[in-house]
């Protein structure tokens, strides 16, 4: 198994990693500005806050599987570059929004374009990295996302305070164009995949991707476990800003600190999972991560103090890294090369669907039963998924 340092020494992968880091930094800055605007300036309800993420997740759930079919046919590098340029233009439209529905529409459009970028990136990584380095590559991608998550809230807070929310959207736009420029410098060969045209051919290819997921014993277990787990995690995460406002009676500074600690925990978790994964299956790491998230959400709900929330956020970050790093490495390493776009996008679709459903109901549940009880329910779901996963793995063994 290759180390993170060995994988990062590969120039082509390093460029892809840098492009990812720059782009995600802009995304977090823009998302933070939107959440702050809705929660603290517009005094939005829980449904208003979750509506943004629902609008972002719907295209992943509905368009993602079809996008994966085309990604398997197209040049993944050109697909990623076109996606970055398009999103760089779309994000500027947030400057001119005056109501929630305009924000929702823009996030829906951004997600539609992103549903092509993400499977294209999933296709690219195994081309640039040897199979024994995929766990490290997955960890580095996770670290890139979480590293910028630590600093983006502070940067976003400063930009909002000094120049207003619009500055965050302009900054995000610039990062998309920088990422496109970095991706333009990549050079790799991917053999063309013969394919027929027409709606029937697209549906047939889509069915092959879904069939592979649900007939592969390990894949089906990991994806279904993650789908159930992400349902609970999404219900918790969508209302974290409202929890800070209404339960902890605090403001955007604490909310920003929580995001930074989740990022710091994920960076540590990405390193830890690579060390613990030796001799263990990725499926075991996924189950371990789901149980960890449940435990720390339970701690937040039970203690309800700023200190416990900060500590729990770090633990959630560590646990999420176990889930994402292990699952990504499994999908990239075990999927046939000609099906990576379809399999990654279909998996992403199932997870996005679970997250979207959770967020649709989370706001109403929180309003009716209280945010704390919603957190308790999320923890229980995660514990049940973990117990079921451990039992299933023993049975498979």
pLDDT tens-digit series, residues 239-286: 787 888 888 988 878 887 887 788 788 888 888 887 777 767 777 888
The structural domains of the chain, with segments of one domain joined by +, span 4-184+199-396
Rg (CA), the chain: 20
The per-residue pLDDT for 85 is: 92
The per-residue pLDDT for 396 is: 66
Contacts of 77 (CB under 8 A, 6+ apart): 120, 124, 183, 186, 188
CB 350 within 8 A of CB 301: no
CB 125 within 8 A of CB 141: yes
Q: What's the CA gap between 102 and 201, in Å, rounded?
A: 36
pTM for this predicted structure: 0.74
Check whether 292 has a pLDDT greater than 80: yes
The per-residue pLDDT for 285 is: 85
In the numeric block, which tokens belong to residue 282? 């990725």
pLDDT, tens digit, 9 for 90 and up, residues 65-108: 888 888 888 888 899 999 899 988 988 898 888 788 888 898 89
The per-residue pLDDT for 296 is: 93
Residue 382 burial class via C-beta count within 10 angstroms: exposed 0-12, middle 13-18, buried 19 and up = buried
What class does CATH assign to 4-184+199-396? Answer: mainly alpha
Check whether 357 has a pLDDT greater than 80: no
């Amino acid at each position: 198994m290759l180390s993170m340092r060995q994988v990062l020494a590969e120039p082509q992968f390093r460029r892809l990693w840098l492009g990812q880091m720059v782009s995600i930094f802009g995304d977090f800055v823009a998302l933070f500005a939107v959440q702050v605007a809705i929660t603290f300036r517009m005094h939005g309800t829980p449904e208003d806050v979750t509506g943004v993420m629902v609008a972002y997740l719907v295209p992943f759930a509905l368009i993602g599987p079809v996008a994966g079919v085309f990604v398997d046919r197209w040049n993944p590098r050109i697909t990623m570059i076109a996606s970055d340029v398009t999103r760089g233009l779309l994000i500027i439209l947030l400057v001119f929004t005056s109501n929630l529905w305009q924000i929702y529409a823009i996030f829906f459009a951004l997600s539609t374009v992103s549903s092509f970028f993400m499977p294209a990136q999933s296709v690219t990584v195994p081309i640039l990295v040897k199979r024994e380095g995929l766990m490290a590559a997955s960890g580095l991608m996770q670290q890139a996302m979480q590293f910028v998550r630590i600093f983006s809230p502070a940067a976003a807070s400063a930009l909002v305070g000094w120049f207003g929310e619009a500055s965050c959207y302009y900054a995000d736009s610039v990062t998309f164009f920088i990422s496109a420029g970095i991706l333009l410098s990549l050079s790799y060969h991917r053999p063309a995949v013969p394919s027929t045209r027409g709606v029937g051919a697209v549906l047939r290819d889509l069915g092959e991707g879904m069939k592979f997921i649900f007939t592969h014993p390990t894949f089906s277990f990991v994806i279904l476990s993650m789908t159930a787990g992400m349902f609970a995690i999404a219900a918790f995460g969508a209302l974290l800003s409202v929890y800070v406002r209404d339960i902890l009676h605090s403001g955007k500074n604490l909310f920003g600190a929580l995001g930074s600690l989740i990022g710091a925990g994920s960076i540590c978790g990405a390193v830890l999972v690579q060390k613990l994964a030796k001799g263990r299956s990725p499926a075991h790491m996924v189950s371990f991560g789901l149980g960890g998230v449940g435990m720390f959400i339970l701690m937040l709900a039970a203690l309800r103090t700023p200190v416990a929330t900060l500590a729990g956020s770090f633990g959630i970050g560590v646990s999420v890294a176990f889930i994402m790093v292990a699952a990504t490495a499994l999908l990239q390493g075990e999927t046939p090369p000609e099906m990576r776009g379809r399999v990654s996008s279909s998996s992403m679709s199932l997870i996005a669907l679970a997250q979207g459903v959770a967020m649709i109901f989370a706001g109403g549940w929180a309003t009716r039963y209280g945010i704390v009880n919603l957190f308790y329910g999320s923890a229980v779901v995660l514990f049940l998924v973990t117990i079921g996963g451990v039992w299933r793995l023993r049975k498979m063994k």
